[in-house]
Structure formats: structure tokens, C-alpha cells
Structure 1
């Protein structure tokens, strides 16, 4: 009985140490990140947006994308992927007096829905400029300096710039959960990139060079997977030396969050279905952290009740202090300061979160947008 009690305590100490190690070694890089001053891109830019049946978002957001301030100019390439609404008419109407707007209309035989990679490939192929800035139809720039800030990170040797795609702030628990999960995901991919282990980006706010896309043969190696146009391509093309991050508040994009639990869960299931295709090293890095989060509270409560409660309190105190300091600083960096008071509640919530989405690792993906 004593041996079992001791083993429980040792397991808690081990898991708490792993999590604290992630906070201090990886996540502190974003929390204490100080970007170097950089000049604006000295070349024109291609902003690329793909959409299917996005009439409402395109009508509202195209004027905001066209307001970007870039000294060398830009083009806005909007790829209309076989929309059945009035997207074509909206694009034609808006392009009449906007020379920077270039609509591209795609009609596929059989109306096959195979995801975003094909229209995005068309947009990249048709882009006139060497540097590309990608976002989604439902995203708006946080400022008219979004494009300038994102592309200012293209210093010598940099081919990829990872940005932050935030969600609008609304009242209610679901909104806070969505935004915390988005922050938590960004905390990982931005911190790992700063640590020299880039593994993904988000299509809501991502920039890379056109030549890099063709150097890696575009999405050819992942064409059989419905998703992955952002995370799997970046996992393949990013290195410790060719990837930079841009977290300036003016460089964020902002999206409308899901309004119902059902829609949010469907969205996250689709996003996580690509994680099983990550490189083994990335899967190990992410899996160890997720496993630690999943095990921590069951071990903590078991140790408090059945074993050495003093040891449990010490582990909880050290882990919580490190987490609060790192997370709160990172939240301020990403303009999510209102979530700071929710840190510990959200940490408990992550146990439920992993239970909810564990099945997506084995679920077959649907070939839709």
C-alpha cells in the first residue's frame, strides 16, 4: 500500500515537472519575446483569399483588405471555388473600380468538394508577386498595417512568417473557451517556432514566398488529405532558420467565432484530423505535453486523497506559479488579456477538451471545406 502511494506521488511529480519544463523552456520564448525592428517589404505583395459560398464575408471584408498600407503596393487575389451563391457577381461588381482586386473563378467537373488546397494552389500559381500573404474569407485585418507588419518579418533567409489569427470577443463561456483554445494553440506553434521547431501555421494569417511553395511541389505530397494546407505544408517546409513569427497587435487577423457548441465541435474535429500526419518528432513533442495535461489533475486529486497531500500541494504551487506567469505574459502579447483571470479554470477544462477530441485522431476526414 505504501509503495502504491509513493508511486502515485512520484508520477505526479514527474508529470508536473514535464509541464513546468514546457512552460519554462518553450512557452517562455513567446511570453518574453521581443521582436527586432524591421523595415517594410521592398517588393509588392500578393494577398490571397479563397472562398466557397462566402458572398457575405467577401462583400464585407474585401474593402478592408484593400485598405492595407504598403509602400510598394499589392494585389488581392480572391479565388471563388465553384460558389453557388452570388459570389461571382459580388466579385465582378467590386472589381470594376478596384485595380488591385483580381477575382479568379473555378468551376470543377462533377462539383467535387476536395477542400481548400486546390483553389489555394490556383491562387498561388496566378499570383504576380514573390511574397504571399494568406488569410480566410471570414477574417478581417486588425489594422491597415496588417500586411506591412506581417511582411516586415521577411529579413534575410526568412521564407515563412507565422501570424496570429484571433477571434472576436463576445460575452459567454463558449466564446472564452474558443479564444483560450486559439490562444493555447498559438502559444504552442509560435513558441516552438521560436525554439527552432516550427511545425504549423494557421491559414487565417500566414505568409511565405511563392518560390518556397513550388520548391516543395505545393501540396502534392498531401493532396490526398482534405485539410493541411496550412499546418502540414508548414510542417514540411519550415526549418529553424527560415521561419519567423509576427505577433504585433496590428498584424493580427480577427474572425467571427462559432456561436453554438455543435458548430464549434465540428470545426475543431476537422482541424485536428490532420495532426496524425505530423512528423514523428512533432507528434512526440505535442503528445507528451497533451498527455501531461490530461494526467495532471487525475494524479493531483488522487495524491491529495490517497497519498502525500503535502507533496501534491508543492507540485501544484510550483506548476501553477510558472503557468500563471508565462501564460499571462503571453496573453498580453497576443492581446488576450481578459483571459488571464480564466487561466486555471481553462487548465482544468483542457482535461475535458482532450476527452472530447481524442477520437479525431482515428476519425476519417470528410472531403469538404
Structure 2
């Protein structure tokens, strides 16, 4: 067998893997969701972790307190802020008894956001926990009611947390990457393989959480939304909520430097994933890079050029269709037309960020 022929077969194999992910996983989001709904209203503790988020808290905290729900509290864990956050939170809590403030001073927390979150979780008074961040907000006042409906017999609820849209290529890349990651973790959960949620829109029953469940990875700066989910969730106790009223919106990074830092922090937990999760999550990006690389080589071979063009066409057209369908649930329809380019850049960017962790491993929360 000639080397060029071998490259062609490898590129076909890569395309098959890509199409499998598109159809089997991503398009699972386009199927009807039959979920039992709870009719009784749960008691819920909303836990927010914040560090130097004064301006965001001024703008977003009222949206949490204005939820159309009868029995909830909001706990804000102020982790060593130096921007006046504590004074603002104290003023807010004096006006609304549902708001509780926990201040962590310098020297008390050496575990970043995860340590702050653990403090908030252990202080929660209610049976159900919903976690979010100080730099995001629920898009509607029905957010907690939708958690109510989703909990029912389910103990873990995975939500979606897109980013605000602003002008610029960086923002487009951030929003596309967020949508793709959401398509993965939500569809994996639908297929019975939950492996993560997002810490800005995530709910679970309090009895699932213990210091032991977080203690095994407390020293890892990230992981409150993936390593924790892998500890407490399974195909029987986990449900997703796709209702647009259940979204939380976050403030996106505005510079490449800050986005690079955020991306590296998120990727630090990957090496701690279970083998099945590593396999499932690595197969798609490896297949994408390999497919485009091999097609690029084969385009210079005249006898394979028409076949390669056909494969590229199948891949791109399928991608347009799949991303258009999932954008009906995850938003970002303006990115569908540019999805092939954004996908390729996103995969390479994530690969470089992951590789950089081999050189410098210390990553901070803020």
C-alpha cells in the first residue's frame, strides 16, 4: 500500500470519527427531553464565590435576589477582596435578610475558588445547592423555578452559561468555544456519561457534597465544575436543563492574555479525568487536526484531489447543519457560518494552552 493511499484511509477514518461525534452526541441535543418535573418548591441555597468583583456584584447581585421563588438564600463568599466588595455586600445584606455574606481574609484560604466554594457549601442552610459566580447573572427571574422543576428525583442539574456578545474576534472565539464545550458536556450527560458542568450554572443536592468529595482534588486550582461532577454524578441522578430562561450570562475576557490564563486554568484538571472521559474528549480534537492536516497534504496529490474536496465538503456542510441545529438551543447563530474556521482555531488554541501546562504548572484563580 502506498503512503499516499494510507494517508487517504487515515483521513477517512478521521472524518468518520468527526461525523460520529456530530450525529451521535451533538445532535442528541436536538431530541425531545422527557424529564420528570417536580411540583413542590424546593429550598435552595445559591452560592456565589467572588474575588475583587465589586463592579460586577453591584450590577448582577440584584438579579439573583429578584428570583421568583419563595424559599431561597444567596450566600456570597468574599474571598480576600481588596476593592471594597465587603462593604458593599454588608450594605446589601442589611437590606435583604436572604443575603448572607462570608468573608475570607488573607491567610485563611490557600485553595483558591475551590476552597471558597467549600466554605460556602458547608454554610448553606438548604437542601439543594445552586452555584454561580460573581461575574455572571441569570437571564430571567425563573432561573430558580427551573431548577425546582429539574431537581425532582434528580440530584444533579447541569445548566448552560454562555458569554455576553461584544464585537471582536476574541469574543467570537470565546463564545464558539463555550458553545462547543456545552454541546459536549450536555450531550454526554444525555448519553449517560456526565463528566462536567459549569461552575456558573450548576445545581446539586447538598447530601452529595462532603469535604471528602472535594478533598481529593482540593489542591487543584480548578475542578469545582468537572472533577466534582465526576465524583457525584452518574447516568441515573443527572439531568440537563436547556430552557433559555435557565441560562446565566457571563462577562467575557477582553484580552488574549486574560483568556489564555483562564483557558490554562480550566485545562489543569484534564490529567485527572477518568480514562473513558480522556478518550472521548481527546478523540474529536485529534481527529479534527489530523483530518485537516492529512487533507492539506493530499490536496497536492492530483489523483486524490477530488476525493479530498468531497470529504471536506461533507465535513463542512454537515458541520453547518449540526451547529445550526444546536444553536437553536445554545444560541450563537451568528457564529454558525464561521464555525469551520472557529473550530479549527479553537482546537489549536486549546492544544497550545494544554501543552504550555507541561512547562509551567502553577495556575491561580484570580
Q: TM-score, normalised by structure 1?
A: 0.93
Match of 1:222 in 2: 217
Name the SS for the 1:201 alignment partner: coil
| Partner in structure 1 of residue 249 of structure 2 | 254
CA distance in 2, matches of 1:102, 1:40: 27
- Offset of residue 87 of structure 1: 1.4
Equivalent residue runs for 1:28-107 within 5 Å: 28-34=27-33, 36=35, 38-39=37-38, 42-70=41-69, 72-107=70-105
Report the equivalent of 2:145.
Answer: 148
Alpha-carbon distance between aligned partners in 2 of 1:68 and 1:218, rounded to the nearest angstrom: 30
Equivalent residue pairs, number: 364
Per-residue deviation, 1:348 = 3.0
What do you get for the CA RMSD once the two structures are aligned?
Answer: 1.8
| Contact 1:166/1:182 (8 A) holds in 2 | yes
Cα displacement (A) at 1:178 = 0.6
Deviation at 1:31, TM superposition (A): 3.0
Deviation at 1:217, TM superposition (A): 2.4
TM-aligned CA deviation for residue 345 of structure 1: 2.0
Per-residue CA deviation, residues 196-226 of structure 1 (Å, 9 max, x unaligned), is: 0111111011000100012x72311111211
Structure 1: runs of 5 or more not aligned: none
1:301 aligns with 2:296: yes
Query: In the TM superposition, what are the counterparts of 1:126-205 in structure 2 within 5 Å?
Result: 126-156=123-153, 158-205=154-201
Residues 358/89 of structure 1: CA separation in 2 closer, same or farther (3 Å cut): closer
**How far is 1:180 from its partner?**
0.2
Q: Distance between the aligned counterparts of 1:255 and 1:298, measured in 2? A: 34
What whole-Å deviation, never above 9, does each CA across 1:242-293 have from its counterpart, x for those lacking one? 1110111110000111111111111111111111111111001111112111
Per-residue CA deviations over 1:51-86 (Å, capped at 9, x if unaligned) read 12222222221111101111x321011111222221
Distance across 1 between alignment mates of 2:329 and 2:291: 27
Q: Cα distance 1:35–1:166, how it changes in 2: closer, same or farther (>3 A)?
A: farther
Deviations 1:307-347 (A, max 9, x none): 51222123223323332222111111112222122222223
Q: Which residue of 2 aligns with 1:336?
A: 332
Give 1:236's aligned residue. Answer: 231
If the length of structure 2 is used for normalisation, what is the TM-score?
0.94
- Which stretches in structure 2 are left out of the alignment for 5+ residues? none
Deviations 1:76-105 (A, max 9, x none): 111112222211111111111201111111
